[in-house]
Structure 1
Amino acid sequence: MPKAQDNYVLDLSASRRGYAINRMCGSLADEENRRRFSEDEAAYCDAYGLNAEQKKAILQRNWTQMLDLGASIFYAFKLAVVDKKSMQYLGGVFTGMSAEEFTAAMLSGGRKFG
């Protein structure tokens, strides 16, 4: 599993770039929207105006690509929950670890910056 960059900053530029993807993921907080998304993920993405690259990242669950496209981890996590994925799972994806390795690293004090 390739290691993702670890310096994602959700600044104004990224926020603008990721507006549609964040709006779509944020909508998944609602049960009815989760049902609609599960019935036809591609159509749901289209309804929120995702561009082709954003839509592909969502449909393929390419978590790091979502962040590259301006998604906020807080919104992307709403999609992960639809897939019954934990924050530890995403932490592992973003650090190149398994969910178990990531959890163990956090329990042992997390990353040490020197």
Structure 2
Amino acid sequence: MSDVTPGLGYNPEDLADIPGTTIFTTASSRRAYHLHRFCHSLGKADAREAFKADEEGYLSNYTMTEEQRVAILARDYNQLIQLGSNFYFLMKLASTDGWSAQRAVSTMSGMSTEDYAAMMIAGGRSPEGNRSIKGKY
């Protein structure tokens, strides 16, 4: 690893080394604070019912960016990750829709749930093109 950035404990440049990988950082967590508060609220049955009854109205209770709101309404998990969220919070949204983790992740991979499951049973995605650019990992 390169020299660390004071206060972070790591060099941010090292986080961009694996193609297609978004690293959840303190900065991304801060960007997604209100998004995570929304997701966390879905841990309560009455909140899930209120959200399902009026998604846009329920989202108005949270100070999220317009991009975050649009991505939630579209269930665009890849975009939500790019906007700072992490998958563990997003699973509350997926669960509210009755989705399994497998189904949510399959939407992120562009595969059907069945194709995604078959790929994982066969050993997962190929490491080709998914390794460290600098060859360290």
TM tier, shorter chain?
0.7 to 0.9
TM (norm. structure 2) is 0.73
**Alignment-mate amino acid for residue 44 of structure 2:** D
CA distance in 1, matches of 2:91, 2:31: 18
Q: Distance in 2 between matches of 1:80 and 1:91?
A: 10
Corresponding residue of 2:97: 83
Q: Which amino acid counterpart does residue 97 of structure 1 have in structure 2?
A: M
Structure 1 residue ranges (4+ consecutive) displaced by more than 6 angstroms after TM superposition: none
Match of 1:101 among 112, 115, 130: 115
Counterpart CA distance in 2 for 1:88 and 1:76 is 13
Name the SS of the counterpart of 1:47 in structure 2. coil
Q: How does 1:1-114 map to 2 (within 5 A)?
A: 6-113=20-127
Structure with the bigger percentage of helix = 1
TM-superposed deviation, 1:58: 0.9
CA deviations on 1:54-79 (whole Å, 9 max, x unpaired) are: 11111121221111111111111111
User: Are the aligned partners of 1:6 and 1:95 in contact in 2 as well (CA < 8 Å)?
Assistant: no
Q: 2:15: which partner in 1?
A: none
- Cα distance, 1:92 vs. partner? 1.3
**Cross-structure match for 2:131:** none
Q: How many residues align?
A: 110
Per-residue deviation, 1:96: 2.1
What is the distance in 1 between the residues matched to 2:99 and 2:65?
Answer: 25
Distance in 2 (CA, whole Å) between partners of 1:98 and 1:54 is 24
Structure 1 residue 26: deviation in Å?
Answer: 1.4
Alignment RMSD (CA, Å): 1.6
Q: Taking structure 1 as the reference length, what is the TM-score of the superposition?
A: 0.86
